[in-house]
Structure 1
Amino acid sequence: MSKVSVVIRCYNEEEHIGRLLSGIMEQTLQDIEIVIVDSGSTDATLAIASRYPVKIVSIKPDEFSFGRSLNRGCQAATGDFIVIASAHVYPVYQDWLEKMLEPFSDNNIALVYGKQRGNEITKYSEHQVFAKWFPEQSNYRQTHPFCNNANAAIRRSLWEKLPYDENLTGLEDLDWAKKILSIGYQIAYVAEAAIVHVHDETAKRIYNRYFREALAFKKIFPQEHFHIGDFTKLIVANLISDYYHAWHDGVVWKNFLSIPVFRLMQFWGTYRGFARHGVITSELKRTFYYPRMFSRPTHNLGGGVGERIIDYGKLTRENTIEKIHR
């Protein structure tokens, strides 16, 4: 049995899937099983994936839900630990998987998730979201259920007892984490298990993402809601924060219009998704919606980082040369 299986959900990810799989091949951890769960890709996603040692599981587009696709992938996986990755992420370091698995030495850890950062096409406000959600400091004793299945790992034995909810419109990870905490297990956040998450969304897609996640949030926490007052307060607070950081980063004019568009779509989608009941718990509201405040980040990656970084430029050149000589 493989010690670790990597489950990747995908749909029309030809631009990104190759980089992720190349990054997995560069990992210091060698005993890796890769499971691709494809929900009807019509581009070259599967052709690219087939160049790598992967197991492909297909589901029909009309059967897709985030939880169902994960359950299918976990069913096909044989590892003791299941690493879950979005098809449009790629690991920064060669020891990404090793760092992700380290907290599982504690038998009480059920779920681990890692840091996410954007790239050059990421909206400026989403860079701020990543920095808020995924800080530079690890936390092996997280007390709230926030996590993110774009870059996470779980114990297969616990998934077998508690599969993902297949009816949610998103946030299946948050739902699973909430249930795990309720039965006495713990969650760890590992900043060193870093990936780059590539989002290049239109305003409509940003709105839709936060709308469906708000629908799911409401089902997970049925007592909660998001008032128009929350919408107003949070959009103003996040605009002030984003412009503050953009000014100090010297990119305020470059992002002058994209910042309000992103935040408007984020919070209008959230408001419309909630539109009905409740009040979000204060701790999760701070995690999901509140801005970064005004402290400036320190980027201390520690010694030896340069040796651990995956050189994707080199991998691309090597793949090109290999194709030429075939």
Structure 2
Amino acid sequence: MQVQVSVIVAAYNEEHWLRRCLTSLKKQTLAALEVIIVDDGSTDGTATICDQYCARWPHLFRVIHQRNQGQGPARNAGITAAHGRYLGFVDADDWVEPTMYATLVATAERSHAQIVVCDVRKIYAATHRTTSLLSLPDATDHVAIATYLKYGLNNAYSGNKLYARSCWQKYRYQRMVYEDLDILLDMLSYCERVAYVQQPFYNYYKHAGSTTLDYTNPRLFDIMTAYQDAIEHAKVTYQDAVTYCVAKRILINLATPGFADYLAEFIELIR
């Protein structure tokens, strides 16, 4: 059977959450699926969990064990190993709904979109709160790309999207925090067609161990590089839309602990 979708799960010390993630992928209604788990030099029980799933369901799961390189390079290893016509990404502490990839593939085939987007359900571990907001007002097989870049929610997430393999011919993730933001706005700007499914198929688990919630991590401020790359590399047609998106994100980030220290740099970037 030809693989339609390769789902890449980069995992580093995720023994507490990984089973939930992999089980959600095992429950997918799309049969022509492969899951490539990249164990990025874990020092806990992550590697054992990966091997257990691969041993029990070898037709579905494959694992790459490598030395620790960071989430971006780990995802890149999965991209290189993938066989699917489409690619997807799920963080090891998140999970997806059973019909996610079947629905996104059907939409991609119908619309001929290079990227299909769905909504995100955010689960806040500390407060036991859940939110699910629409990425755009209406589902459509032909998203207005400038509108999605300027106003769309979750436009720089990797996990809530299905990608045609051709999207990754010229892109790879960088070794940095905010590796998604660094390339996804750019990638979207070069798409001929983007489709949107108005369903919260992707569950984003926000907990104390999340990288982008660790405001003591100096690498968090890779966000400045990501913002610059997003603007500079975007297709000229959509550069203003990407700049608007970045400016809006900066305003939101100024309320985040630690980001106010970079106010001068953010203002200069907007200018």
- State TM-score, norm by structure 2: 0.73
Q: CA deviation at 1:83?
A: 1.4
Q: Which runs of 5+ in 2 are unaligned?
A: 150-154, 233-238
2:76 is the counterpart of 1:74: no
Alpha-carbon distance change, 16 to 80 in structure 1, aligned in 2, over 3 angstroms = same
Provide the C-alpha distance between the structure 2 equivalents of 1:127 and 1:221, rounded to a whole number of angstroms: 32
Are 1:214 and 1:273, in contact at CA under 8 Å, matched by a contact in 2?
Answer: no
Label 1:217 to 1:168 Cα distance change in 2 as closer, same or farther (>3 A).
Answer: farther
Structure 1 letter corresponding to 2:160: N
1:99-128: CA deviation from partner (whole Å, max 9, x where unpaired) = 22222125641122322213361558x956
Q: How does 1:1-326 map to 2 (within 5 A)?
A: 1-52=2-53, 53=57, 54-61=61-68, 63-66=69-72, 68-92=73-97, 94-106=98-110, 108-119=112-123, 121=125, 131=133, 134=135, 137-140=138-141, 141-143=143-145, 144-145=148-149, 146-159=155-168, 161-166=169-174, 169-172=177-180, 175-182=183-190, 184-192=191-199, 194-201=201-208, 205-207=213-215, 208=217, 211-222=221-232, 230=251, 235=255, 264-265=256-257, 268-269=258-259, 272=262, 275=265, 277-279=268-270
Shift of 1:22: 1.1
- For 1:212 and 1:26, locate their aligned partners in 2 and report how far apart those are by CA, in whole Å: 35
CA displacement, residues 253-304 of structure 1 (integer Å, 9 cap, x when unaligned): xxxxxxxxxxx32xx4376388253218xxxxxxxxxxxxxxxxxxxxxxxx
Count of residue pairs brought into register by the alignment? 240
CA pair 42-176 structure 1, distance change in 2 beyond 3 A: same
| Per-residue deviation, 1:193 | 5.2
How far off is 1:151 after superposition?
2.9
Aligned-residue sequence identity (percent) comes to 19
Q: 1:169 to 1:46 in 2, by over 3 A?
A: same
Alpha carbons of 1:17 and 1:270: their partners in 2 closer, same or farther (altered >3 Å)? farther
CA contact (8 A) 2:181 2:226 kept: no
Residue 85 of structure 1: how far off its partner (Å): 0.9
Q: Measure, in 2, the Cα distance between the counterparts of 1:171 and 1:98.
A: 27
The amino acid of 1:175's aligned partner reads I
* Residues 136 and 25 of structure 1, relative CA distance in 2, 3 Å threshold: farther
Q: Deviations over 1:12-69 (max 9, x none)?
A: 11111111111112121122111011211111112122222321123322x3352x22
